[in-house]
Structure 1
Amino acid sequence: MDICELILSDHHEQRRMFAMLDDVDPADTATLGVLWTRLAAMLEVHAQAEEIYFYPELLKLGERLRDASEVAETKDAIGDHNDIRDGILAARGAAAGSKEWWKGVNDAREANDEHMGEEEHEGLKDFRMHVDLQTRHDIAVRFAAYEAENVTGVPVVDKDPQDYVDENS
């Protein structure tokens, strides 16, 4: 198991679930609602797992390499997670299938798409290049256990990016 592969796999599943929403008859609000409930939980649990297990290690990598870009990347990622959370909360406050609901879902989707692209081309690349396989495995095991333990979701709470970096550096 490798944290880079695990995160990429989660990203694939997130993209697939957003596509599933596109394929549901707009009048089938019950199906839209249950699919979104699952996807929203997946998005937040994934973000929390990254914040607990991946990004602190990315910050340590930046320190080892004396590369400040990992701090900027981490702040950006936490900001992206907050944008995703904002979309989740907006959709949660609206009736499934409504215009407001779709706005929240699409806001979360756009923020998630941006976040995944940046993470895949920056943080995960840096990890593959500079972190040994045993460490990547160890992080992946803890990450997977966290996701399994919290499969039904965790509280959706924004974090201050600078405070996060300060607490994890």
Structure 2
Amino acid sequence: MDITDVILRQHAEQRRMFAMLEQFPRDDTEGLGALWTRLEIFLETHAEAEERYFYPELLRLGTGGGDADSVEEEVEDAVKDHNEIREAIRKVGASETGSDAWWEAVVEANVANSDHMAEEERQDLTDFRQHASLELRHEIAVALVRYEALKAATGITPVDKDPKRWIREHSPK
């Protein structure tokens, strides 16, 4: 198991779940709500798990991958992206399932998440592959998957993080 592969597979699953929502019968609000709840839990547990297990190690080992100026810049941006995804998720929750406002918020969540995944794949995962041992990549994958599995049934309470403070608290001393 490799954390970069786990994250890539989870990104593919997130894309698939958004596509399922887009193709789901619009008049089945019960089904839409259930599918959205499943995706919402997945998005938040994925984000929280990355913040707990992947990003601290990326900060420790990375140098800035792809078009990132530094590892700090890429991780700060990723945490900010998670907050934007959480904000869109809150908008979905504040709207009546299946309403125009609900669909607009779902699209906003999809766009924020898609932008984040593309950047993470281009920067963070590339940086980590270049600097982390296969053993560490495996250890982080196990920790991340374990955390997500334990939280998947009930979800977790979304908590926005101040990106600059998060970097200060998690940067190697």
Tell me, in whole angstroms, the C-alpha distance in 2 between the residues paired with 1:69 and 1:113: 22
The alpha-carbon deviation at position 90 of structure 1 amounts to 0.6
Aligned to 1:95: 96
Aligned to 1:157: 159
Tell me, in whole angstroms, the C-alpha distance in 1 between the residues paired with 2:115 and 2:163: 17
Aligned to 2:86: 85
Structure 2: stretches of 5+ with no match in the other structure: none
Count matched residues: 166
TM-score scaled by structure 2? 0.93
Map of 1:7-18 to 2, 5 A cutoff? 7-18=7-18
The alpha-carbon deviation at position 153 of structure 1 amounts to 1.0
Q: What amino acid is the match of 1:165?
A: I
Aligned to 1:123: 124
Tell me, in whole angstroms, the C-alpha distance in 1 between the residues paired with 2:39 and 2:69: 33
TM-score scaled by structure 1? 0.95
Which consecutive aligned stretches of 4+ in structure 1 deviate over 3 angstroms post-superposition?
none
Aligned to 1:60: 60
3-state DSSP of counterpart to 2:62: helix
Q: Is the 8 A contact 2:26 2:98 kept in 1?
A: yes
Percent of matched pairs sharing the same residue = 52
Tell me, in whole angstroms, the C-alpha distance in 1 between the residues paired with 2:31 and 2:105: 17
Tell me, in whole angstroms, the C-alpha distance in 2 between the residues paired with 1:47 and 1:12: 15
The alpha-carbon deviation at position 115 of structure 1 amounts to 0.4
RMSD (Å) for aligned C-alpha atoms: 1.2
Aligned to 1:32: 32
